[in-house]
Structure 1
Amino acid sequence: ERAVGQIYMPSVNWFLMLACLALVVAFKESSGLAGAYGIAVTATMAITSVLYFEVLRLNWRWPLWKALPLLILFLAFDLSFLSANLLKIVDGGWITLSIALAILAVMVTWRDGRALLARHYGHMRMPLDVFLRDMEYYKPQRTSGTAVFMSISPEGVPHTLLHHFKHNEAMHERVILLSILAAETPSVAPEQRLTIQDLGQGFHRVVARYGFMETPRVPEIVELANAQGLALDVYATSFFLGRETLLTTGDSPMAPWRKKLFAFMSRNSWNATSFFNIPPGRVVELGNQVEL
């Protein structure tokens, strides 16, 4: 809880346990695991040396002439051990490499896919001042009640709000633009949890911050907002969320198989309604097709 960037994920821990048991059952004897274990350990040593070099350069601001000799020294030992163990690929080492490549493919595909979506919605995002000027000029019909539009970024107007206004040509009396941000610390102090900005014309921007050891919960955010005078009722508020349907027919440089993998992971990712503990009966999902 005091280390930056370290998290505990129970599901991942269970998966690792089951994977270890499966390897033990498959190889039956410890001698059979020697090849897989040797490559895993020596490759980890080499990767750790490279990461240490990055820490020296980026975090500790060491000059290149000072950090590079250390990297060369460590890699001279690490790579010699790794190259010696590469001879054991056919004796079980291929399992280590296969697992590593599979996990790497999943992680990099998810990262690149989310970056594609961020760029897609970034191009669609309208500056907030422009949107508010349009609201003041056109004066759309305002319906009773409060609407919360959730947004990844605390900048600009959420695409769900633009999508809603495009099709309904009406706006709620009160509109909350809610962004939930992840801090680089395990927890966030209560006094730093929530910031509220009155944008005028019935619009408010609410930014909630949570540490990586904390679970964001919308009912808790509503209670904190009430304490700051916003007067919200979670069971009398409509929450608008976006849901993408990913199409693999776009012209992005991502390989077709990676597009299909990312689309599969997105379809099976945790539902925002459940993750943020939003009352299901108060959620409105707006669909949007995105070509990767």
Structure 2
Amino acid sequence: MADQHAVAAGLASSGAPETTLSENHAKLGPWTLMLGAIGVVFGDIGTSPLYAFKESVAAASHGGPLTRDIILGVLSLILWSLVLVVTVKYVFILLRADNRGEGGTLTLVALAQRATGKKRGLVLMLGIAGAGLFYGDAVLTPAISVLSAVEGLKLTTPALESYVVPITIVILTTLFLVQSHGTGRVAAFFGPVMLVWFATLALTGALHIADDPTVLLAMSPHHGVMFFVNHPTVSLIVLGAVCLSVTGAEALYADLGHFGAKPIKRAWLYLIFPALVINYFGQGALVLSDMTAAESPLFRLVPEWALLPMIGLATLATIIASQSVITGAFSLTRQAVQLGLLPRMEIRFTSEAHQGQIYLPRVNMLLLFGVIVLVLIFGSSSNLSHAYGVSVFGAMAVDAVLAIIVIWRGWRWSLALTLVAMLPFLFIDLAFFGANLMKLFTGGYVPVLLAAVLITLMWTWVKGTSILFEKTRKVDVPFLELVKMLEKSPPHRVKGTAVFLTSDPDTAPAALLHNLKHNKVLHEKNVILTIRSEDVPRVEDEDRIEIEAAGDSFWRVRMSYGYMETPNIPRGLAILRKQGFKFDIMATSFFLSRRSIRPAAHSGMPLWQDKVFIGLAKSASDATDFFQIPTGRVVEVGTQVTV
């Protein structure tokens, strides 16, 4: 699932912002990292046994009787999906495509941009599409996961069926409301809980394989192939249900930076993969021996006395799975802001020790609203399964296309070898995506519409900021020309340092021009500060600052941050002081230009898109908060521009 989870940072960060990922991993050790990966990375895929096999056999029978070849065929498809999509594509290939230890869809975008030398075009559009599809997954996963667990209550007392939706909403609402407190306090419990969950999956599955040992024949891909041959009319529908078994696979790659490749590989190969396979085969053997168990095979694996504890454990596991995707949405949004795909948003750090633990209030509330709406509209995990999958496999297909670009242009493989290695996985992703499109009118439209809205918003922001930049450049004054003019005709000087923030260091900041025009003064020291987002996750402190003298009393400073970092200007200026640039922070004023944007009669975008861009610009969080500037030292200068 995505690209990075804040919970993971609580387990895998050593605390110091300047500490490298490799140092973090070395300090914590392989077993601690492996336990953390079990708790965070595999939460989503680990709860798939709650609904994947059940929905697959239901789709395969299509209302008719269940047969042995259907069960064996479905199990074979699930097994080989786990082998090819998760083990080969993500564990053995994509985990190698890291950007200084980080992974995720936007990491692939950064790698592809670096490999092709292009910041715009196909790569950027793919990144926007992948991010938009991920948000659809972030809304659907908590809804279907928690619903599927709570529905187990119906097996204990059928009278509780009417309470399933209210209980689910209470759990989800509580989960979202506690996000502001940070996940560090509970992160230590995630690994042990999920370890118990996977051990339970393996144990209950193993106990029932003996119900019908012939279920092991499903290990042969022959049964999966023959299912398509013998059931062509329902094969796509079944594929749309089988794919539920691999949802969450993208989390292996997204959490690469928090745990490292080796702990994730070990956790998958030595525990998660065997536990899932044993449980699925146990469910299959149970249904082969008792076809009535197909209605809820996972919960039927346990004896009646263990049903309530199993439901409780499943609920905890689904909450953890939901937690990981929620914090993943926070991290993806942060990366999108850093890469210029979204306007600035308020980011709160929920831990003084771990920089990866963040909370975005606006994103949290939007996700909560979306999740509750979905639970109320669909009402059950079976109904929600019709909406689930389109966004997941759309995002996986985007990962595959970006990986082809990175392997070909970045790793310097030949095009033929790259296509031989990656096209089969792209074909599988597209097959799953196409199968889920069959559910478009029964619920699949939900993630499609959501992704379309988010893609439109991101593309509007990218296009609008580009148009705005080009328009303002036409009336801008070249910075070096202004310096020469001021040297010839110096204004009145005042003590202290002035820092002018600008996105273009070659042009004079609007705030500087307005200060000269209206106040007719110039500070003793003037810093033209540009914040740059690099296509790497993090920038080391020794590489963060570049300073250049630009004439009498003027300096141009470039402060660089990785797309996983949040800019902190005071901390960056402290690095500047260490490099020999002397100034007093209490005698420093920060000048910001606040733009009031108006739609233009003739724009590069339609009027509706102009209005959307203006709305996004107004929603951007205050630059003072975003760049963590002391509020008492900020001077804002307003200007009006058209887009």
TM-score band, normalised by the shorter chain?
Answer: 0.7 to 0.9
The one-character-per-residue Cα deviations of 1:95-122 (angstroms, maximum 9, x if unpaired) are 1211111111111111111112222233
Name the structure 2 match of 1:36. Answer: 387
The one of 572, 581, 590 aligned to 1:221? 572
Give distance in 2, aligned partners of 1:35 and 1:112: 34
Give distance in 1, aligned partners of 2:539 and 2:424: 40
Of structures 1 and 2, the one scoring higher in RCO (CA 8 A, sep 6+) is 2
1:91 alignment partner in structure 2? 442
Q: Going by fraction, where is helix more abundant, 1 or 2?
A: 2
Distance of aligned partners of 1:208 and 1:80 in 2 relative to their CA distance in 1, 3 Å threshold:
closer
Change (3 A) 1:250 1:58: farther
Amino acid at match of 2:474: H
Q: CA 1:26 to 1:176, structure 2 compared with 1: closer, same or farther past 3 Å?
A: same
Question: Aligned equivalents of 2:430 and 2:536: distance in 1?
Answer: 35
Q: Tell me whether 1:265 sits opposite 2:265 in the alignment.
A: no
Alignment counterpart, residue 128 of structure 1, candidates 462, 465, 479? 479
Shift of 1:290: 1.1
Q: Give the Cα–Cα distance (whole angstroms) in 1 for the partners of residues 395 and 581 of structure 2.
A: 51
- Which residues in structure 2 correspond to 1:92-111 (within 5 Å)? 92-111=443-462
Which one-letter code corresponds to 1:28 in the other structure?
G
Q: State how far apart, in whole Å, the 1-side matches of 2:449 and 2:469 are.
A: 30
Q: Is the 8 A contact 2:479 2:505 kept in 1?
A: no
3-state DSSP class of the match of 2:550? strand
Please name the residue that 1:288 is paired with: 639
Q: Distance in 2 between matches of 1:54 and 1:31?
A: 37
CA offset digits 1:265-289 (Å, max 9, x no partner)? 1112111111222222321111111
Q: Which amino acid aligns with 2:510?
A: H
One-letter code of the match for 1:135?
L
Q: Structure 2 vs 1, CA of residues 208 and 256 (structure 1 numbering), >3 Å: closer, same or farther?
A: same
1:150 aligns with 2:501: yes
1:14 Cα deviation (Å)? 6.9
Letter in structure 2 aligned against 1:3? E
Q: Distance in 1 between matches of 2:407 and 2:554?
A: 46
* Amino acid across the alignment from 1:201: D
Q: Which residue of 1 aligns with 2:102?
A: 3
TM-score of the superposition, structure 2-length normalised?
0.41
Quick one: which amino acid aligns to residue 230 of structure 1?
F
- The CA deviation string for residues 142-161 of structure 1, in whole angstroms up to 9 with x for no partner, is 33332211112343432322
Which has a greater percent of strand?
A: 1
Shift of 1:240: 0.8
Equivalence map 1:1-292=2 (5 Å): 2-3=101-102, 5=107, 8=331, 9=334, 10-11=359-360, 12=363, 15-16=366-367, 19-62=370-413, 67=418, 76-292=427-643
The residue matched to 1:285 in structure 2 has which SS? Answer: strand
Distance 2:394 2:533 in 1: 31
Contact 2:480/2:506 (8 A) holds in 1: no
Indicate conservation of the 8 Å contact 1:186/1:212, yes or no.
yes
Confirm or deny: 8 A CA contact 1:148 1:237 kept in the other structure.
Answer: yes
Deviation at 1:13, TM superposition (A): 6.3
Q: Aligned partners of 1:288, 1:252: CA distance in 2, in Å?
A: 19
TM-score, normalized by length of structure 1? 0.85
**How far is the alpha carbon of 1:247 from its aligned partner?**
0.3
Total equivalences in the alignment: 292
- Identity, in percent, stands at 36
Distance 2:435 2:543 in 1: 53
